[in-house]
């Protein structure tokens, strides 16, 4: 952690977010192509996931990796009338479960040995109407997941834990 203390109003709740687990990983080689499900992916600091088209788009962006929780997917399925939704349809790189994903916003967290920082909500795009049917975008509002920056490179694997990095306490 850097010497500068992070100032995030959610820091005080970080310890209560729980520990999650990666349940699915996907990369998209080219724009508008389907995601390819993989068991592991190399995360490159400041760039993105090897094999994903976004890696070469805008180095340093806050959208190097996208995450959604299985709990959000279940809610989206409920709101759209689907019994299940395949993760690749939602166009996110990782599916995690067991952690309060919205509480990770602007937090640093580790997945396996990869250090990440959640930057912003990952809002649904208009393509979700095609993928999920009428009401798809509305169903994903507030449940679209998060975008993140990769701060330290490493390998992400299905089954890795997702753990919040506790902010420095210098009080």
SS3 readout for the chain: CCCCCCCCCCHHHHHHCCEEEEEEEEECCCCCCCCEEECEEEEECCCEECCCHHHHCCCCCCCCEEEEEHHHHHHHHHHHCCCCCCHHHHCCCEEEECCCHHHHCCCEEEECCEEEEEEEECCCCCHHHHHHCCCHHHHHCCCCCEEEEEEECEEEECCCEEEECCCCCCC
C-alpha distances (whole Å) from 71 to each of 2, 42, 144 are 32, 25, 11
Q: Percentage of the chain with pLDDT > 90?
A: 68
In the structure, what pLDDT confidence band is assigned to residue 58 with cuts at 50, 70 and 90? confident
25-45 pLDDT, tens per residue?
999 999 888 899 999 999 999
- The CA-CA-CA angle for residues 146, 71, 117, to 5°, reads 25
User: Contact, 94 vs 65, CB < 8 A?
Assistant: yes
For residue 166, count other CB atoms closer than 10 A to its CB. Answer: 12
Domain 21-164 is classified in which CATH homologous superfamily? PK beta-barrel domain-like (2.40.33.20)
Q: Is the pLDDT of residue 15 over 70?
A: no
Beta bridge partners of 109: 116, 164
Total-model pTM: 0.87
pLDDT for 18 equals 67
């Amino acid at each position: 952690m850097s010497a500068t203390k992070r100032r995030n109003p959610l820091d005080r709740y970080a310890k209560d977010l729980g520990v999650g687990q990666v349940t699915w990983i996907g990369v998209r080689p080219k724009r508008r192509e389907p995601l390819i499900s993989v068991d592991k992916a190399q995360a490159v600091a400041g760039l993105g996931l090897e094999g994903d088209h976004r890696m070469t788009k805008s180095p340093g962006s806050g959208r190097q990796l996208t995450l959604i929780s299985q709990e959000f997917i279940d809610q989206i399925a409920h709101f759209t009338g689907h019994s299940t939704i395949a993760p690749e349809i939602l166009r996110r790189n990782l599916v995690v479960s067991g952690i309060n994903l919205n509480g990770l916003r602007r937090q640093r967290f580790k997945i396996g040995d990869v250090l990440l920082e959640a930057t912003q909500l990952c809002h649904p795009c208009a393509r979700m109407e095609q993928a999920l049917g009428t009401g798809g975008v509305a169903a994903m509002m507030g449940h679209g997941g998060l975008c993140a920056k990769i701060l330290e490179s490493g390998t992400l694997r299905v089954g890795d834990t997702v753990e919040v990095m506790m902010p420095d306490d210098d009080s």
